[in-house]
Amino acid sequence: MRKLILNDRVVVVAGRDGYFLVNVNDVYVGKAIFIYGECCGIERDFLNRLVRAGDIVIEVGANIGCHTVALAKSVGMNGRIYAFEPQRACHSLLEAQIALNQIENIYAYRRGAGRTKSKLWVPKINYGIVGNFGGVELSNSETANSEGVEIVTLDEMLRDSPCALIKIDVEGMEEDVIRGGIDIINKNSPIIYVENDRPEKSKSLIALLLDLKYRLWWHLPPLFNPNNFFGVKDNVYGNIVSINMFCCRGNHEAAKGLIEIKSPDDPHPLARPPNR
């Protein structure tokens, strides 16, 4: 049985990477796992090729764990995943995936990561209606319906940990996460895979990574994977792609065929899509 429907919005799905408890009202992550048995499968495959058994991975903005579980299986029991997710509902589902799949090498924190230790606010979300639950931005301002969440720095939390890959998807706080992890980055030279879908913040983010002696490439995987786990041919996401950067110090075979970013002034994909 591929799906166990618990109620009108919560379903257990037996997908590509194991069992997932999902909210089908989540239009990108939950819905994708429900329909296809996976979410962002092309991106998933790319990330898994970047790690090997025994690696340590830091994932900031883990959401409900659609990539977290796959990465945990790729690095094996001698590896570790440190996963940060500030939304209580998403973190709860992340913990559910860990329990359902009996995974022991994921360390999940209901915290955000930034450039300094602080407190931010998660706005109130109605998870009972359709929405993009992974697109929630943290706020500096408290409201009557918001919930406070601790913000830590990666250097504070994981300073002494080795690290092979840092994956960042934090709705505009990408630069803050990197600035709070400068020591880890300089010590380990990890691969950095970071979302960069906000043109107004792109130049500063690119400049920072170039200053850290990284080479950068656009990685624009479509949300729809024609080879999805359930073999569904219907593409409900059309031409939507994720807008990410693959970053490393030196050369890497994973960059083959990607468009290199040479300068903060290079065009952003949302301004003029690069040839792919």
Indicate whether this model's pTM tops 0.75.
yes
How far is 241 from 176, CA to CA, in rounded Å?
Answer: 24
- Work out whether strand 56-60 and strand 165-168 pair parallel, antiparallel, or are unpaired: parallel
Give dist(CA 52, CA 93) in Å, integer: 26
Whole-angstrom Cα distance, residue 228 to residue 174?
29
| The pLDDT of residue 276 is above 50 | no
- For the chain, count helices (H), then strands (E): 8, 14
Q: Is 210 helix (H, G, I), strand (E, B) or coil?
A: helix
Q: Express each pLDDT in 201-253 by its tens digit.
A: 999 999 999 999 999 999 999 999 999 999 999 999 999 999 999 999 999 99
Q: Is the pLDDT of residue 16 over 70?
A: yes
pLDDT at position 176 is 97
Q: What is the average pLDDT across 42-47?
A: 98
Q: Which residue's structure tokens are 């994720």?
A: 242
Pairing, β 80-84 against β 56-60? parallel
Amino acid found at 13: V
Flag the least confident range among 120-124, 175-179, 202-206. 120-124
What's the mean pLDDT in 75-89? 97
Residue written as token pair 């989540």: 26
Residue 252's CB is within 10 A of a number of other CB atoms, namely: 15
pLDDT of residue 275 exceeding 70, the answer is no
Residue 69 has pLDDT above 70, yes or no: yes
Domain 3-261, CATH class in plain words: alpha beta
Please give the pLDDT value at position 80. 98
Neighbours of 41 (CB within 10 A): 25
Answer yes or no: is pLDDT of 90 > 90.
yes
Q: How far apart are CA 242 and CA 219, in angstroms?
A: 8
